[in-house]
Structure 1
């Protein structure tokens, strides 16, 4: 069982670089908390394989195909014109490229050789996810940008899910920091740092902030 949060300690107590909450005593020495590590792992596990989110994007290429619409087999060529949103996620520069960029970064941090990938984009996606999950414990414990990694991977998953289910993009809302600065968040925001006073809010704290005045927002 995790140690209780050090609520009575001062603001110099180490915090998670992902969500901003204070680390448990059992997490001291890590850059990120285990909750953020688990969130990143859960997001990664949804992407690979023939039934994963990346493969399912191919079933949403034809216009009008989202949510409960008729699904086109991934083995067939979708009729033109294609939907650009799922296509961009599938193509170079999308999901696979982002995963490979992080894998390369981790190799450089560890002093390893540049990773190599084989096969098509689906196979490369599967390889990158496997490598990232193998090294996830190290990254969550030592990588200074693990919070950025978690946010980027969970954002990719949400983008894929929206294309597959037809769910609308989350609407951002404006909340007010105690210093008066305006923060733009969504209901899925894991945490936020105020650019005005540098206060770091975790997920619960940022969602508890008052809504900003409409004129100020």
Structure 2
């Protein structure tokens, strides 16, 4: 997706040839020289989020500061290589304060931002206050266990995804599982709006 961003730098530029097209509100004048979202991502919006994690890991490992690697392409390649090479340490660094959940969130946001810049659909996922009802087996007492992780609504796909168990949950499936797990009553389910509705 990083490579494809370059193809969309000029998406919003060009001369308006149809006077009947709706105009965006705001002052008249020259437009920005390209798609500002793409420019922002290519000019450091991607690498800056990832470099925060590299610098934190280097500090906790007692290593030197993050080296200068060159342009954005070289910087992205370098930081991704560093994170990949040290991911095993980060996953097992129980004596350190490694925030893998924050890295996961940043990666999700970057993927959504880059996908949105490429497709033109800038809608972003958002967390719901409802817990994930997906089954995780049974508790020691034999009762069904549910994930309980945070559900994220992905508007581009009209679906819910749990970032804990990684399951994709459709609306009816969510209702059925929630009823079976006792997270919803039949009356609640009857009055629950469809999250896939616009």
2:81 is equivalent to residue 130 of structure 1? yes
Cα displacement (A) at 1:130:
0.6
State the secondary structure of the residue aligned to 2:102. Answer: helix
Query: Residue 91 of structure 1 aligns to a residue in which SS?
Result: helix
Larger Rg over CA atoms? 2
Give the drift of 1:175.
4.4
**2:88 and 2:151 mapped to 1: Cα distance?**
30
CA contact (8 A) 2:161 2:168 kept: no
Match of 1:89 among 18, 33, 41: 41
Match of 2:25?
none
**How far apart are 1:185 and its partner, in Å?**
3.3
TM-score, scaled to structure 1: 0.51
Q: Please give the root-mean-square deviation of Cα atoms over the aligned residues, in Å.
A: 3.3
Instruction: Note the C-alpha offset of 1:169.
Output: 1.9
Secondary structure, in 3 states, of the residue corresponding to 1:185? Answer: strand
Contact 1:107 1:113 in 2 (8 A): yes
In structure 1, distance between residues paired with 2:92 and 2:57: 12
Could you list the runs of 5+ residues in structure 1 that have no partner in the other structure? 1-52, 66-78, 178-182, 192-201
Q: 1:168 to 1:121 in 2, by over 3 A?
A: closer
Report the counterpart of residue 10 of structure 1 in structure 2.
none
Q: How many residues align?
A: 134
Q: Tell me the residue number matched to 1:34.
A: none
TM, length-normalised to structure 2: 0.55
Alignment match of 1:114 (pick from 65, 71, 76): 65
With over 3 angstroms needed to count, the CA separation of the structure-2 counterparts of 1:114 and 1:63, relative to structure 1, is: same
State yes or no: 1:59 paired with 2:30: no
Q: Aligned runs of 1:59-208 on 2, under 5 Å?
A: 59-64=7-12, 81-92=33-44, 94-142=45-93, 143-170=97-124, 172=126, 174-176=128-130, 185-186=152-153, 187-191=160-164, 208=174
Q: Whose strand fraction is larger, Structure 1's or Structure 2's?
A: 2
Equivalent residues in 2 for 1:16-55, closer than 5 Å: 53-55=1-3
The 1:160/1:206 distance shift into structure 2, 3 A limit, reads: same
C-alpha displacement of 1:90: 1.1
Question: Matches of 2:127 and 2:53 in 1, distance apart?
Answer: 29
**Greater RCO between the two (CA within 8 Å, min separation 6)?**
1
